[in-house]
Amino acid sequence: MSESPLADWHERAGVRVDPRRVLGGDLDAGKVLFPERLIPYLAHPLVAGLDPGTREQLVARHAYQYFAFTAHFETRVVNRATELIANGRTDVVLGGDVREDAYKIYCDEAYHALYSFDVVRQLEAATGVAALPYTFEPVITELDAVAAECLPQAGSLPYLLQVVVFETLITSLLAELPNDPDLVGLVRTTVRDHARDEGRHHAYFARFFRELWTGCDLRTRREMATALPRLITQSLRPNQDAVAATLRAAGLAEPQVRDVLADVYAPDRVRQTAREQSVQSVRLFRAAGVLDLPGADEAFAQEGLI
């Protein structure tokens, strides 16, 4: 077996070596908190004509939501499963190395959550735009519902698949934001720090999945093949409740909010985005043999992923 992707964690992990990132004077220099092109509702006719101050508020809150999603997902979904691995509480028996690496990831994700919260607070203080309360409940409720429906035997497997899916999805934001010169350095650098850690997590969970898959019986594999595509689309689904809250705060009336959401997050567009964002994950599952099972093709196709 080749060396663990977390073998040099003590020398390279962000939580071990990176300094705290601080905002500095970038806002005065005209840098933005989030690229407008990546905020789909900004171009909607009901939003495009809002005054510049209100649009800036929307951009700020979109950035806040990106980081709030990260903080919630890391602590409530990723680390919920990582704890099971670290403490040896999974149904499958895991070796000491796999468990020790899970403790490292647990620390990484807790730190990612901490600096995500820190970034939002720094941006709030500098812009004067307050963050709205972030609603994560719909995200985790849906994820758990999919897992419960597809994997009725429960145990640790639903949580393990949730973490494998999320950690092997390399969303384009992690690659795109650090290289955007118009973005405030705090956001750029924070996302770059995060992406470096996530590269190691991706490798760990890709390997973890192959071993998990190999160790499962055929019936469990069939259930996994149905669960995986649904967990992928669920993990990539935009949090529309959170967007609705920022649109309301920008002064849109309820029917307008509904119109914007219906247009911007039309099912076809959401499916298209999920397909684009999951190419690498689908490749990984295909390489592991998931799509060779009868019915697996159809399950992935039904979610629009292949």
- Least separation in angstroms between residue 66's CB and Fe ion is 13
Contact 191, 40 (CB under 8 A): no
Q: What pairs with residue 183 in β-bridges?
A: 32
- Least separation in angstroms between residue 79's CB and Fe ion is 9
- Least separation in angstroms between residue 232's CB and Fe ion is 16
Binding site for Fe ion (CB under 5 A): 109, 112, 198, 201
CB-nearer residue toward Fe ion: 108 or 223: 108
Nearest to 17 by CA among 134, 92, 107, 151: 107
CA–CA gap between residue 259 and residue 276 (Å, rounded): 25
Q: What is the DSSP string of 68-120?
A: HHHHHHIIIIIHHHHHHHHTT-SSS---HHHHHHHHHHHHHHHHHHHHHHHHH
CB-nearer residue toward Fe ion: 101 or 223: 101
Residue nearest to Fe ion (CB): 201
- Least separation in angstroms between residue 63's CB and Fe ion is 17
What single DSSP character describes residue 292? G
- Least separation in angstroms between residue 111's CB and Fe ion is 8
CB-nearer residue toward Fe ion: 71 or 157: 71
CB-nearer residue toward Fe ion: 129 or 163: 163
CB-nearer residue toward Fe ion: 72 or 230: 72
Q: What pairs with residue 32 in β-bridges?
A: 183
CA–CA gap between residue 254 and residue 103 (Å, rounded): 45
